[in-house]
Chain A
Amino acid sequence: MSMPVPSLAEASAGIAAGTLSPVALTEAALARIAALDPKLNAFITLTGDRARQAAAVAEAEIKAGKKRGPLHGIPYALKDIYDAAGIRTTAHSKLLIDNVAKGDATTTAKLEAAGMVLLGKLSTHEFARGGPTDALPFPNAKNPWNTAHFAGGSSSGSAVAVASGMVGLAMGSDTGGSIRLPATFCGLVGMKATYGVISRRGVVPLSFTLDHAGPLTRTVEDCALAMQVLAGYDPGDPGSAREAVPDYSADLRKGVAGLTIGRARAYDIEAGVDAEMMAAVDAAAEKWRVLGAKIIDVVLPSKQRMDACIQTILLAEGFAIHGEWLRTRPQDYGRVTRERLMMGAFVTGGEYVQAQRLRRIITAEVDAVLVGCDAILCAGNPTAAPRVVDVDEGPFRRSHPITGPFNATGHPGLALPCGFGASGLPLGLQLIGRSYGEAMLLRIAQAYEQAAGWLARRPELEG
């Protein structure tokens, strides 16, 4: 019988105290993967031998007094759009099936430099764009809370691996919600940091000005630990921001007394948030109020208007990347991916520029809302995870993700569990912060997480 791996913070404390070894932790993670992955399909490529070697090196370094930091010797995994030297990066696609990375993505290099142990590469929707039932070279990941329900995407394998206790940290990417949606559906914390805070170099692109790299973890504290390693200017990423990296854990336990949270209820209503999700988000707002925060109503720009902005940019930029393959190798894409990318052929140059002009206006409007509050609160998705058979896999979705507008504005967004629905599936909320305000989001989230007590609940899995 396998056990879920400890959180990053628990593992770090155990290694520091000498009660847990990197080798034992890595073996526990590999045992958990062996027990559960045949059912959950989180991994595309498992690098067990490499992980065992890295864990042994980490253990020797720590014993020799050469500890690199709090995450030294702890396993992690990568969405299979991140490069890791010598390992294939497939983007879950036949098109890149033999694409072996020559070097590390900047994020991979940072995690390796921190002494972390790579377990392997994780399932994704093809090129971070397809759907959960596409016929692809590898099986699609399944939600550990209920395998008949959607795990979210596109960082599906990342969320499944963390939620099922295979690993404490998985990297995802978020172009319209692909970190935050699977985090919500699988009961996790997912961070889409401010555009430019985490390097995208060495990560297969989908939309240059909307793509964000970021972590999925079980706890807020773990997210802060991961952010400390991941954030920072990278001259190899043309969109990277020259901003100082704060101490993400410094204010984690300061509480929310005196802070103001803007509840974007009208936005949730426009997005079609259902009754149980709305009640859970409202209850979270009430919890923060009891903890000392001031809760105010805020009005965001209309979602429909923001959707037009992000969808236009996403279609055009995705098509710029994939146009040639769509012409020459269309049969090598899954149907959902191919059709969604082909939609970009309908966007004119004028429409793309107009969307970028609208983006500037909308960003300023969201900035103005954030002048009056420390964070905006809205739902992480209109519902708990739908059944896989009910997921809209059409070329152009009938409704667009509640998360997407903040990819257009670049503001940081944090997905956080806020309860469970009648079906037993996780519910989640989203906190949106001021640019470079990740530490504030983590502080607000930490206060709720500790008071709410949802962390104790895990999916029921054999093994």
Chain B
Amino acid sequence: MPESDPEAEFDMALARAGLVVPPERRAAMMEGFRAWCEMRKLLNEPMPLATEPAFALTQPAGPRAFSSQAESLGDSENATKQNFRGSSPRHDAAGRL
């Protein structure tokens, strides 16, 4: 397996996101990125293939609810707040917790 290049990944992710880190803050951001790279290894623990994510999207029984927050922020795009409902083992078939 080829070794990853943190510097290249760092630059690529920022470029893809359209973000610019000022030169004087690059070292601090890079340190944060390296810490994140260590942490994310823990996400890859063995688990059954069929393990589903928590808080999966479910279809509501009635009209879909939208946040009014977008109105107060004056930004209709924010109105597309996702409709997350519970689906962990604590949830019943209707998606209730």
Contact indicator A394/B62 (Cβ below 8 Å): no
Contact indicator B33/A363 (Cβ below 8 Å): no
Contact indicator B28/A343 (Cβ below 8 Å): no
Tell me which residues across on chain B come within 8 A of A360, comparing CB atoms.
51-54, 87-89
A439 CB, min distance to chain B CBs, angstroms: 16
Q: How far is the CA of A37 from the CA of B19 in the complex (A)?
A: 38
User: What is the chain B residue whose CB lies nearest that of A354?
Assistant: B43
Contact indicator A195/B54 (Cβ below 8 Å): no
Given contacts A359-B53, A360-B51, A361-B51, contact A394 B68 (CB under 8 A): no
Contact indicator A330/B19 (Cβ below 8 Å): yes
**What is the interface size of chain A, counting residues whose CB is below 8 A from a CB of the partner?**
66
Is A308 at the interface (CB under 8 A from chain B)? yes
Contact indicator B69/A103 (Cβ below 8 Å): no
Q: Interface centre among B35, B40, B83, by most A CB within 10 Å?
A: B40
Q: Which of A149-157, A232-240, A289-297 contacts B (4 or more CB under 8 A)?
A: A232-240
Contact indicator B47/A357 (Cβ below 8 Å): yes
Is B2 at the interface (CB under 8 A from chain A)? no
Q: How far is the CA of A67 from the CA of B59 in the complex (A)?
A: 40
B27 CB, min distance to chain A CBs, angstroms: 11
Contact indicator B42/A343 (Cβ below 8 Å): no
A208 CB, min distance to chain B CBs, angstroms: 6
Tell me which residues across on chain A come within 8 A of B94, comparing CB atoms.
242
B50 CB, min distance to chain A CBs, angstroms: 10
- Interface residue range, chain B: 35 or more
Tell me which residues across on chain B come within 8 A of A342, comparing CB atoms.
14, 17, 19, 21, 29
Given contacts A194-B97, A312-B43, A363-B90, contact A346 B68 (CB under 8 A): no
Contact indicator A361/B47 (Cβ below 8 Å): yes
Contact indicator B65/A363 (Cβ below 8 Å): no
The B-contacting residues of A in range 308-349, CB under 8 angstroms, are: 308-309, 311-312, 315, 319, 321, 323, 326-327, 330, 335, 339, 342-343, 345-347
Q: Which of B28, B52, B55, B89 contacts A209 (CB 8 A)?
A: B55
User: What is the chain A residue whose CB lies nearest that of B94?
Assistant: A242
Q: Which of A10-18, A198-206, A425-433 contacts B (4 or more CB under 8 A)?
A: A198-206
Contact indicator B54/A394 (Cβ below 8 Å): no
Contact indicator A305/B45 (Cβ below 8 Å): yes
Q: How far is the CA of A339 from the CA of B62 in the complex (A)?
A: 40
User: What is the chain A residue whose CB lies nearest that of B18?
Assistant: A327
Is A185 at the interface (CB under 8 A from chain B)? no
- B residues near A (Cβ < 8 Å) are 9-10, 13-14, 16-21, 25, 28-29, 31-33, 35-36, 39-40, 42-45, 47, 51-56, 60, 62, 65-69, 71-74, 78, 81-90, 94, 96-97
- A residues near B (Cβ < 8 Å) are 83, 89, 96, 99, 101-103, 194-196, 201-205, 208-209, 235-239, 241-243, 304-305, 307-309, 311-312, 315, 319, 321, 323, 326-327, 330, 335, 339, 342-343, 345-347, 351, 353-361, 363-364, 367, 394-396, 398, 410, 435-436
Q: Which are the 4 A-B pairs with shortest beta-carbon distances?
A: A356-B53, A396-B32, A395-B32, A308-B42
- Taking A360-B88, A410-B86 as given, write out 9 further A-B residue pairs in contact, using a Cβ cutoff of 8 Å, ordered by the A residue number: A99-B73, A103-B71, A202-B67, A208-B81, A330-B19, A360-B53, A367-B90, A395-B32, A396-B36
